[in-house]
Structure 1
Amino acid sequence: MHSPILMFQSTRFEIVQDEDKLTNPGIFGRRLAEWMANELSTRGYHALGEVIPEDFAWCVPVAAEDCELYVACANAEEGWQTYVFADCGLMARLAGRDPRIEAVAGLYSAVRAILEDAPGISYLHTQ
């Protein structure tokens, strides 16, 4: 389960040489993910450890009680993109307790507010 994708433009996030060797070729976003990890505390969230390279993005693991919560950060055709996703155990979902909806919605609101308030971010929109 994931949130809508937030698309935006910015020149603040440089591409680290060879960072896409840890993701798929042409997938960047390490500096965006590191910045987002630092900014989350301004909205009451806590990033857990280092950002994680995945095939599709650089991910920020975020502290959550009932599920694994992440902010995915990557380049896009028109700039940058980020979205929130969560995973929790199958048993919780089968028992009718799916905490992902609330967890994703809260973190998505925080990420959107961070981007809206940050200098150097423009053309913020959802896809």
Structure 2
Amino acid sequence: METPLPIKHELLDEHDFGFAKFWFYPNYIVGEFAEGADVSKEDSIGPITFIKRIYSTTVPFIYISNRKNSYSMDPMGYKDIVDMFPNLIGMAIVSDNKYRRMIATLEKMFIKKPIGVFHKLEEAYEWATQNIEELNK
């Protein structure tokens, strides 16, 4: 699978964990979960390790969730994972599926970070770029 975004920044790393694939950029992570994946907190150890290796707890980043596929994840576990990263400044959720977009709206109740919901990756990238630029002012 090719990198999903037309990001002008260098791709730092990419990794396929089986249940999901992640692309790591200087201030962005793009994640795509596999169709039918049932993701537990234990499954998240690999991606968490990669994120901490690349961004530690100081480099600000935005997570872009490209929800092309249907998968499940415990929302409370998701919140615990998000709380591990004080340098996560926001999340962008991309889906053209009405049901997945409604779920994204529910996630806003659990996660106290800016969350944008978009139809296209390019829109999410623009939103993320604006948030990173605001932080750097």
Structure-2-length-normalised TM-score: 0.25
Higher Rg: 1
Structure-1-length-normalised TM-score: 0.26
